[in-house]
Structure 1
């Protein structure tokens, strides 16, 4: 008789332990500005190759919130971290000043933008960037206050879980004053017009700071001359529908002031309009279409890879893992197509979701028919 014991037939193996996902990496709060010039061109900064985020890409001025300069934030795990606030707005103004030298500040007790001599402005820029003086204290010393009220909220972006660094970035639009003209309204106090010329930060984070038409930035990205990541491309795409420089014969029909003012009025109307769908085409709306642009929050997710050109189709309707149980969301109706390469995103394009899905179904039908032959 064998003395070797055997496990009882009634014994059950323990249930396999469920793999628990680690909690999402906390987001870093940041803010950024689409800055429109007096001719409605958009400012873009060319980031250095060694940057840990958006290396070599063209981006809008902006950066992380600084408690020293901007004030305390809610707990990083709180949903309040994803809400527009004075802290985000002050950070956007400060970062724009540090990165481009353009000061979005008003004279204390006045409606006009603050005009600071270049030498004082550049010295202050360096002091603020080095954290030698709080931005608000420096502004007060030159008689100004940050023009946070001039910022127009324009979506928030939450970095997907797949990225090593994650941000919750509040985007804004800011419109610099238009050039005065004979047709400019005369009511109200006159503002001193200032030409705002951007400069890079000496190569610390950027190598160039330039205004250009939104459509021109997009064309350069399509040609492979510059790198635009999906969020920047998407926002420029939306703005490009309403802004463009005057052509030589335009001045024969309308003044420059009226030309650019009408563009701004159309853009502002678009930002306030819901549902945010394709005009005159769609009959059904997704819940995200009722969310205004100021409150949309987007965390790009990969939907599928197109068979025709192997581009990834990114959905923009999800708000990110921290907000998945809330009613917040982004843009269901538009998607971004992109090839991600070692050199950065290429062949970026914004399309209507229904068009892309229809093309994919038609392509599958054709491929299925060919397979039967």
Structure 2
């Protein structure tokens, strides 16, 4: 037996000790009845994603969500009931929107009076009552079955705070919902939060394309994972039709968008470009992709970093996990804040860099 035992990921124990193990967390890409996306605005002093607009979510809690595998177990990077409960609980704590059903999973959406809802958010946030026990006490169950896995993101090694974050997609019912928390988010309300506004200041539903446009204009901050997922959604969630449809036609319009998105999540290959089609990650559906951004280089033209999205992270090196080879994210980081984030085709971006490099050499000659 050697002194350095190899792990499943192909790394030695000595190497693994140098790494900061990622904390398990989960997040929800929440769609309104009009297929708009919910984002929360984090304060500039936030412990994670300062000043950014983010999807609701946070760290898993053993008290509320149950045990997860140890950091050395590759299963910590897989979808599970704990990740799903954490996603629903965090969404409730941060936005007041409760993804739960009456009685059982086949029941109608659970409705809770505003006063009772806010009291429960306080009690759950302060660990005075377990989330699932509170749900049972009001006749509800967490709607874990309708959470659709939508990529996992593992923070790169260079970062001091690392997370393994399971992203989910959840579609609120298409019928009109009389829910104060949802109504508030439709108008960007300043939401009361259990932490007194220490992390989140406001919540709002808006079209994926509108969020991306605001980021391009410098009106909001989006970090690469949020920008990337909004980019994917913007292909399907394109707002209402141009004409004036009847209520039933409008519902059918949004239902059709959702069906196309569901098909996208489960269809392979996930790439279209010839070289990308040959890469193994093209055979991993979006619901199972694991992404740990890696820096491929710095752009000569504007000095933005080029982030590759195909690697699954150091803990999963040598596994069959992977992300997206076809696309990259361009980003500039300054004082911990991401700016000028853009999703582009990998081959297109790298070809631009090669052309600039050739031009630079020819100029020197």
Identify whether the pair has TM-score above 0.5, normalized to the shorter chain: yes
| Counterpart among 132, 136, 149 of residue 136 in structure 1 | 132
Contact 2:29/2:168 (8 A) holds in 1: yes
Matched residues in 2 for 1:34 and 1:270: separation? 15
What does residue 94 of structure 1 align with? 89
Does 2:32 correspond to 1:34? no
Task: Indicate yes or no: 2:296 matched with 1:303.
Answer: yes
Matches within 5 A, 1:238-249: 238-247=232-241, 249=243
Q: Does 1:262 align with 2:256?
A: yes
Aligned in 2, Cα 1:24/1:344: closer, same or farther, shift over 3 Å?
same
- Given that 1:297 and 1:329 are in contact with CA atoms closer than 8 Å, whether structure 2 keeps it comes out as yes
CA distance, structure 2, for counterparts of residue 271 and residue 200 of structure 1: 34
| CA shift for structure 1 position 205 | 1.5
- Alpha-carbon distance in 1 for matches of 2:83, 2:192: 22
Contact 1:218/1:233, CA 8 A, preserved across alignment: yes
- In structure 1, distance between residues paired with 2:359 and 2:113: 65
Report the secondary structure of 2:245's partner residue. helix
Q: Secondary structure at the match of 2:287?
A: coil
SS in 2 for 1:251: coil
Change (3 A) 1:167 1:242: same
Distance in 2 separating the partners of 1:44 and 1:95: 13
Matching residue within 163, 169, 194 for 1:173: 169
1:291 pairs, out of 284, 289, 293, with 284
Q: What does residue 220 of structure 1 align with?
A: 214
**Separation of aligned partners in 2, 1:160 and 1:113:** 38
1:221, distance to aligned residue in structure 2 (A): 0.8
Q: Please state whether the residue corresponding to 2:349 is helix, strand or coil.
A: helix
2:80 equivalent to 1:79:
no
Question: Aligned partners of 1:283, 1:212: CA distance in 2, in Å?
Answer: 32
Cα root mean square deviation, aligned: 1.9
In the comparison of the two structures, how many residue pairs are matched?
341
SS of match in other structure, 2:169: strand
Which whole-Å deviations, capped at 9, do the CAs of 1:94-117 have from their partners, x for residues lacking one? 000000000000001443110111
User: In terms of mean alpha carbon deviation, does 238-247 or 255-264 score higher?
Assistant: 238-247
Distance 1:51 1:71, change over 3 A: same
Structure with higher Rg: it is 1
Q: Deviations over 1:94-152 (max 9, x none)?
A: 00000000000000144311011111111111111111100011101111000000100
TM-score normalised to the size of structure 1?
0.87
- Report matched runs for 1:104-183 at 5 Å: 104-109=99-104, 110-179=106-175
8 Å Cα contact 1:24/1:321 also seen in 2 = no
* Greater helix content: 2
Please report how far the alpha carbon of residue 70 of structure 1 lies from its aligned counterpart in structure 2 after TM superposition: 0.5
The structure 1 residue matched to 2:19, chosen from 21, 24, 32, is 24
State the alpha-carbon separation in 2 of the partners of residues 335 and 58 from structure 1.
Answer: 21
Q: Answer whether contact 1:177 1:193 (CA < 8 A) is retained.
A: no
CA distance 1:272–1:284, change in 2 (3 Å): closer
What is the match of residue 61 of structure 2?
66
Cα offset, 1:370, TM superposition: 2.1
Indicate the SS of the match to 1:209. strand
> In the aligned structure 1, how far is the partner of 2:199 from the partner of 2:340?
25
The answer for unaligned runs of 5 or more in structure 1 is 1-19, 181-191
1:233 aligned to 2:227? yes
Residue 274 (structure 1) aligned to one of 268, 276, 284: 268
Instruction: Please give the per-residue CA displacement for 1:268-291, whole angstroms capped at 9, x wherever unaligned.
Output: 111111111027x66842001101
**1-structure distance, mates of 2:200, 2:320:** 37
Aligned to 1:351: 344
List runs of 5+ in structure 2 lacking aligned partners.
Answer: 1-13, 186-190
Out of 335-344 and 83-92, give the one that drifted further: 335-344
Offset of residue 79 of structure 1? 0.6
Q: Would you say the 8 A contact 1:179–1:193 is kept in 2?
A: no
The CA distance in 2 between the partners of 1:43 and 1:164, in whole Å, is 28
**Secondary structure in structure 1 of the residue aligned to 2:243:** helix
TM-score, scaled relative to structure 2: 0.89
